[in-house]
Structure 1
Amino acid sequence: MKLSEYIKGRLPAYLTYAGGWIMALLFMGAFHIQTQAAVIITVIMLLTVTAAELPPLIRRMRFYGKLRSNIQELDQKYLISEMLEDPGFPEGDILCDVIRDADRSMYEHITEYRNENVQFREFIEMWVHEIKLPVAGLLLMCHNDGNTRYTGQVKRIDSLIENVLYYARSGSAEKDYIIKETDLKRVFADSAVKYREELQERSVSVSAEGLSISVMTDGKWLGYIFGQLFSNSMKYFSPDREPEIKVTAEDFPDKTVLHFRDNGTGIPESDLPYIFEKSFTGENGRTHGRSTGMGLYIIKQLCGKLGHCISAESVKGEYTDIIITFGRNDLHDVV
């Protein structure tokens, strides 16, 4: 709290004091009281006002100064109620009570929201597991009957259901992963096998180079990321050339960089900074109605949880290159 702010707030009281002092001087002048007596009375009044105003001023400046300093230093501003001290003046006590009541109400609402969120996520996970049973049954029936007409659509439904499960879990992925040494080549091969039929139907050429590298990650979540990249690439292949996906990895002393590159329609330069944002579809999304804008968003979130960096490079009409950087684990290197 600044001195000028305090004086501004107390200005009506100071004007009242000044009015009283002027009236006292006029009264003393009317009764011809000596100048020395008027000066003494004036000094006494000034000392009295100073003695009455100075301690509250000091308490307020100390309290509000510390309050402002604490709120600026806190990353989570709502924790300010935990740092409040006894202000020592009535207005400060009221302010502290109001802040504590507001924070208490906020905590109750947050707890209620979190509980609802957990219940909804549990319901989604249960629903996904239940719905996967009939979908698996349909896939088995199509396989036994030799009917491939509906297999692709059923697999697409299964993939979309899996997306729902992974998205529901992505908010708390840290509770469901195991970071360990993982073979990039094996995880990529498993993902490619999963999408083998669709890749063959679209005559997609898939090549891999330099993947005989181990990185510190969770194999299951990385497999899901590869699956999403396969799915994204197959949505946006160009009809003007043979579709191709090329995956390469470069190993550096402090990191491993993986490139997932396709020769599809590419991404406009104006859309590139926003492709990892939630529900962003951009120009390609409006052209291809199947886009939801969630795939790359989920991948970005998972990479953040796993400690990986992800970025993209693209040229419209030529290629799209998704780049994932795996940091080097020094402890693992020592062992």
Structure 2
Amino acid sequence: MIAKFIREYRSFYFAYLVLSGSFILLFLLYKLPTEFLQNALLLSLTLLVLLTAGLFWKFRNRMRALEDYVHEEALPLLNKPVDLAYLNLIEAEKEVTREQLLVYKSREEDLQAMVKMWSHQMKVPLAALSLMSQTDNLHQADVDQQLLRLDNYMANLLNYLKLSNQASDFRFEMVQVREVVVDLVKKYRQQFLQREISVAIDGDWQLKTDRKWLSFALSQVLDNALKYNKTGGSVTIALDKGITISDTGLGILPEDIPRLFDEGFTGYNGREHQKATGFGLYLTKRVLHQLELDIDVDSQVEVGTNVRIFKSD
């Protein structure tokens, strides 16, 4: 404590020594009586000791208050401008820390809820596969369909975690979008055939983007176009300075369209048909934003839905 006190007031004591030396030098130069010099030094030293005692007492209390300032009774001792500025800085840092903890806690709660929801969704295809196995009714098309659902759910989960942790690895290159779309149609070909849904791809679009993440975003839109389409319906994919995916499905209620890309929002169709997780379009929007692309939805109930993806301005 004493060493800290000396460091705190070293400039004060250094100034005292300089003034005392100057005082002695003046006495010597003017050849004044040494008795006056002794009395002056003794008086100044006595005042210095008394002042030091008072300063040390306040310094000790302030140091203890700073160490335990969380106690309200200690705060009045910290009344110097420097102390107040220091306390304000600490309070600002604590407020930032509290806000960060709230964000982390909210994110952790959302993550736990999301994992629970996804695990529940993944039980459905697993149960279907288990039933097929138990009844020895393993048709290749049905098995492929359930495996595709599992693959999509797992991809959504992993990509959600990557985006949440900002650990996504975007690598931009020139991409022929038609090639990406064709690969996705091949991926979903069993569902197209099983539900007798026709698909047409028109045009092409060359874009500098990340192939993997663009494919993921398009797969979410195409998956919805299949899930909510009618048996014997159609899906049209037009490529011309953008991507327009049109289907002849159930359509979307007008009041649901503004909230389609909200996290966890399923809408009327998702709740009615129990097919939606509420994260597919949310992830699509986030990925497209990272790719500097925008998305727009136009739909009519019982007519179909048009989803347009285009370059952001």
TM-score, normalization by structure 2: 0.59
Does residue 230 in structure 1 map to residue 222 in structure 2? yes
User: 1:243 — aligned with what?
Assistant: 233
Does residue 321 in structure 1 map to residue 313 in structure 2? no
- Structure 2 counterpart of 1:249, which letter? L
Cα distance in 2, alignment partners of residues 315 and 112 from structure 1: 39
Identical counterparts, % of pairs: 24
1:146-295 superposed matches below 5 A: 147-171=140-164, 175-211=168-204, 213-238=205-230, 242-250=232-240, 256-295=241-280
Report the alpha carbon displacement of residue 221 of structure 1 after superposing the two structures with TM.
0.9
Cα distance in 1, alignment partners of residues 214 and 228 from structure 2: 22
SS at match of 1:246: strand
Contact 2:141 2:190 in 1 (8 A): no
**Per-residue deviation, residues 277-310 of structure 1 (Å, max 9, x unmatched):** 1111111122111111111111001011111111
User: Structure 2, unaligned stretches of length 5 or more?
Assistant: 1-79
Contact 1:173 1:302 in 2 (8 A): no
User: Does the C-alpha gap of structure 1 residues 235 and 99 become closer, same or farther in structure 2, counting only changes over 3 Å?
Assistant: same
SS at match of 2:193: helix
C-alpha RMSD of matched pairs (Å): 3.4
User: Does the C-alpha gap of structure 1 residues 178 and 172 become closer, same or farther in structure 2, counting only changes over 3 Å?
Assistant: farther
User: Does the C-alpha gap of structure 1 residues 105 and 244 become closer, same or farther in structure 2, counting only changes over 3 Å?
Assistant: closer
SS at match of 1:224: helix
User: Does the C-alpha gap of structure 1 residues 200 and 299 become closer, same or farther in structure 2, counting only changes over 3 Å?
Assistant: same
- Structure 2 counterpart of 1:154, which letter? L
User: 1:21 — aligned with what?
Assistant: none
Does residue 95 in structure 1 map to residue 80 in structure 2? no
**Larger Rg belongs to:** 2
Report the alpha carbon displacement of residue 265 of structure 1 after superposing the two structures with TM.
0.7
User: Structure 1, unaligned stretches of length 5 or more?
Assistant: 1-86, 251-255, 329-335
SS at match of 2:250: coil
Cα distance in 2, alignment partners of residues 280 and 295 from structure 1: 10
Report the alpha carbon displacement of residue 195 of structure 1 after superposing the two structures with TM.
0.8
**Per-residue deviation, residues 45-70 of structure 1 (Å, max 9, x unmatched):** xxxxxxxxxxxxxxxxxxxxxxxxxx
- Structure 2 counterpart of 1:185, which letter? R
TM-score, normalization by structure 1: 0.55
Report the alpha carbon displacement of residue 156 of structure 1 after superposing the two structures with TM.
1.6
Count of equivalent residues: 213
Cα distance in 2, alignment partners of residues 112 and 308 from structure 1: 28
Cα distance in 2, alignment partners of residues 172 and 94 from structure 1: 33
1:42-191 superposed matches below 5 A: 88=81, 94-103=87-96, 109=101, 147-171=140-164, 175-191=168-184
User: Does the C-alpha gap of structure 1 residues 275 and 95 become closer, same or farther in structure 2, counting only changes over 3 Å?
Assistant: same
Cα distance in 2, alignment partners of residues 196 and 297 from structure 1: 25
Report the alpha carbon displacement of residue 194 of structure 1 after superposing the two structures with TM.
0.8
SS at match of 1:245: strand
User: Does the C-alpha gap of structure 1 residues 100 and 225 become closer, same or farther in structure 2, counting only changes over 3 Å?
Assistant: closer
Report the alpha carbon displacement of residue 325 of structure 1 after superposing the two structures with TM.
0.8
Cα distance in 1, alignment partners of residues 102 and 272 from structure 2: 40
